[in-house]
Structure formats: C-alpha cells, structure tokens
Amino acid sequence: MRVLALDFGSARTGVAVSDPTGTIATPLGIVERAATVNGLAELAELVRSEEVERVVVGLPLTLRGERGEQADETERFVAALRATVKVPVETFDERFTTDLAERTSNGAASVDAVAAAHLLSSYLEWSSNESP
C-alpha cells in the first residue's frame, strides 16, 4: 500500500511517500501553507498523482504524550484534509521526528520532508507489526 506522510506545520509541511509495497519512505518535498485552500488542493493533487491509498499526518504530542496547542492545530488541519481527499487520513505520534531529521538530513531534501520520511518509516514499521 502506497502511503503519503505529512509533517504538518502552519508555514511548511514536509511530505514523504512510500514505495508501492509500503516498505520504503522517501522525502518528496514541502507544501507551503498546507491548511489553506491552495495548500489543500496541492495535497489532493499529490494524493492523486502519487496514487496513495492512505495519508498519515504526524500528531505532535508532548514528551508526556499529551496534546497541546500544536496538536489541536494539527487536528483542525486533518479535519480539513479529510474533507478534501478521498483516501483515509490518520494521525500518528511524531515525537522526535524533527530532531532526528535535523541530525540526519544531508541537505538533499528539506528537513521538513526528511521529518515526514522518518514519520512514515515509523508508521510503516508499526503498521507491519500490527498486521496479522
């Protein structure tokens, strides 16, 4: 299953996509102001052009696993995205993905896209362990 992952930010949203087998995550780029009408339209086009079957959005929980203001903003974005695309959209804990991306980014892709790829890798690993 091909999955698109989003590391949502109000200014820039990192985007990564899996291969068709749902095994490998690759940074794709960024979408500026993803929560706007234009940003949502750009994401809908990516969902279509990349032929994804699911979208995963990183949910920024606190270190204690609690929801803060950023998580609330992300949930509003997720609701708007669900109303825009025709594939399932779910959230996944994104703690530490940006820190990891800053340490592993080689400059070829934006830190936001690398963070989305780390999020997607974690999601793919988790979902493969959840499947019977």
- Confidence at residue 64, expressed as pLDDT on a 0 to 100 scale: 73
Question: Token digits for 18?
Answer: 């899996």
pLDDT digit string (tens) for 8-36?
Answer: 999 999 999 999 999 999 999 999 999 99
- Confidence at residue 20, expressed as pLDDT on a 0 to 100 scale: 94
- Confidence at residue 114, expressed as pLDDT on a 0 to 100 scale: 86
Q: 92, 126 in Cβ contact below 8 A?
A: yes
Domain locations in the chain as residue ranges: 3-130
pLDDT digit string (tens) for 56-77?
Answer: 999 987 677 778 888 999 999 9
Task: With cut-offs at 50, 70 and 90, classify the pLDDT of residue 39.
Answer: very high
pLDDT digit string (tens) for 81-116?
Answer: 999 999 999 999 876 555 555 555 555 457 888 889
Q: 55, 91 in Cβ contact below 8 A?
A: no
Q: Is 53 exposed, middle or buried (0-12, 13-18, 19+ CB in 10 A)?
A: middle
What does residue 117 show for φ and ψ, rounded to 5 degrees? -65, -40
- Confidence at residue 112, expressed as pLDDT on a 0 to 100 scale: 85
Fold that domain 3-130 belongs to in CATH: Nucleotidyltransferase; domain 5 (3.30.420)
Task: With cut-offs at 50, 70 and 90, classify the pLDDT of residue 129.
Answer: confident
Q: Is 84 exposed, middle or buried (0-12, 13-18, 19+ CB in 10 A)?
A: middle
3-state secondary structure of 28: strand
118: Cα separation from own chain's centroid: 9
pTM: 0.87
Handedness of CA 125, 28, 42, 99 (dihedral sign): positive
